[in-house]
Each structure stands twice: as structure tokens, then as C-alpha cells.
Amino acid sequence: MKSLIEFYQHLGWALSLLVMMTFVLAGTVKGMIGLGLPTVAMGLLGLAIAPVQAAALLIIPSIVTNVWQLAIGGQLKVLIKRLWPMQLAIFFGTGLGVLWLSVDSASEVVRGLGAALLLYALSGLFLPALRVPVSAERWAGPMCGLITGVITSATGVFVIPSVPYLQALGLSKNQLVQALGLPFSVSTLALAAGLYWRGKLGGGELNASLLALLPAMLGMWLGQCLRERISATLFKRVFFIGMALLGTHLLISG
């Protein structure tokens, strides 16, 4: 508690308010389309505080909102039964990546991921939807999970290729958002476990992320309320526009 108070006292009222509003916005985006909290938060907080401080603030809100996203929707058992090979491969791939690769992100890799995500979003907006046949899920899911895990360990970006794969399964909007919570939760926990094992997770600012959790959860609730009030067609458009903005951010700031 002392370190939490000291952290926000050091920031001052103006920056502390920026932190709270940023997490409300980031949580709203995540509640609406199922992803984007780390990207939105890092993008805005990075303008005012050190990246290491922003990253520390993200840890608890990211984990808790991922679990919340995973738990809400009523399709958890069905999704786990369908997607567990992919999640196991994500955990395995992340572990391998943490052991073998540098945890520091290479800017070229992040920009490449941003470009891939932008192209995916544009194809989703203007081209016919891609579909993964049910018969292909047995091998496509684990392969996608393994690649996602390795990329996550090297860059901290969870979305490629897990998001395009899940979107290609033809899930409903609520199923898709809940399904996205699976790889995000597994990736976050696996990465945190790997970093802890290597002695790279910790610091007094971690406690300060507890307070950032409150506005993030408020934003998640607002975003979920908005999602329930839009049609599937509009959700698809918002989803891909969100993907395009996320890819553009990674492409520019990588």
C-alpha cells in the first residue's frame, strides 16, 4: 500500500488522472471488441510516463480483465473443449520463446506484426470472410497457438496469428470476444511465469497496478454494454476497424 501511494504521489494529480482515464478508455475498447487494452494504455501512458512504469501498471489490469472476458458469455466449456489444443500450444510456445529468445522486442518484428494486422483488418473490411474448415482445426489450432506463443514471448503482442484464426472460425460476436479471452489469458500467464522464472518480473510499481484495475474494469463494463447494443454487422465493422488501428499503432510505434 505504501508503494502504491508513493507511486501516485510521485506522479501528481494530473498524471494520476491521466492514468485513470486511460484505463477507462482502454478497458472500454477491450470490452467492446475483446482486445486492445495493453496497446491503448501503453500508447497513451507512454506520452507521459516511462515505458517501464506503464508496463508495470498494465500487469494486473491485463490479467484480471482477460479472466473476466473469458468468464463472461456462457460458452466457456464449449470453447475450452474446442480450443484447448491451441491454448496448450500457446503455453508451450511462450515457454520455449522465453527460454530461447530475447524478451526485448525487436522493432522490426513489431512493425511486421503491425503491418500483418493492418492487412488482415483491411481484408476483413473489404474482402469475403475467411473460414477455417472444422476438419482443419485439429492441426491449424495447435500450429497457430505455437506461433502465437513464440511471437508473444519475443514481442509481448498476443494477436498474431491467434486473432485472425479465431475470427475465421465463424463464431458469433459474443463467442468471439469470449474466445479471445482464452489465448490472451494463457499468453499473459505463461509470459508472466516465464519472466518470473528468469527474475525479470517484480518491482515496487507492481502494487500501483491494483488501483489501475478499478478504471479498467469500469471500462470493460461500459464496453460490454455497448457491444450488447449493436448488431452483428456493426460489430464486425468495429472489430476490424479496431484491428486496423491496432496494426497501425504497432507499425508506427514499433
pTM of this prediction?
Answer: 0.74
pLDDT value at residue 84? 93
How many helices (H) and strands (E) the chain has is answered by 10, 0
Residue pair 186/90 in contact (Cβ under 8 Å)? The answer is yes
Banded pLDDT at 46 (limits 50, 70, 90):
low
Mean pLDDT of the chain: 79
Residue 107: pLDDT band by 50, 70, 90 thresholds?
Answer: low
Distance CA 97, CA 94 (A): 5
The CA dihedral of 24, 30, 33, 36, to the nearest 10 degrees, is 110
Higher pLDDT, 182 or 44: 182
Residue of 235, 135, 127 whose CA lies nearest to 175 = 235
Q: What are phi and psi of 187, to 5 degrees?
A: -65, -45
**Mean pLDDT in residue range 150-159:** 73
Q: What is the mean pLDDT of residues 91-120?
A: 72
The CA distance from 10 to 22, in Å, is: 18
How many residues does this entry show for the chain?
A: 254
pLDDT interval class at 55 (50, 70, 90): low
Weakest-pLDDT range from 18-32, 39-53, 149-163, 194-208: 194-208
Grid coordinates representing 248 are 497501425
Q: Binning pLDDT at 50, 70 and 90, where does residue 173 land? A: confident
Give the pLDDT band (50/70/90) at residue 59: confident
Please give the pLDDT value at position 232: 73
**What is the C-alpha to C-alpha distance for residues 123 and 207, in angstroms, rounded to an integer?**
41
194-231 pLDDT, tens digit each: 767 766 555 555 666 777 888 999 999 999 898 888 88
Asked if pLDDT for residue 103 goes beyond 60, the answer is: no
Are the CB atoms for 89 and 146 separated by under 8 Å?
A: yes
For residue 2, what pLDDT is reported?
A: 46
Report the alpha-carbon distance of residue 225 to residue 155 in Å, rounded. Answer: 31
What's the pLDDT score for residue 87? 92
Residue located via cell numbers 464486425: 236
Q: Which range (13-17, 136-140, 185-189, 201-205) has the least confidence?
A: 201-205
C-alpha 75/C-alpha 80 separation (Å) is 9
Is the pLDDT at 85 greater than 70, yes or no? Answer: yes
pLDDT of residue 5: 54
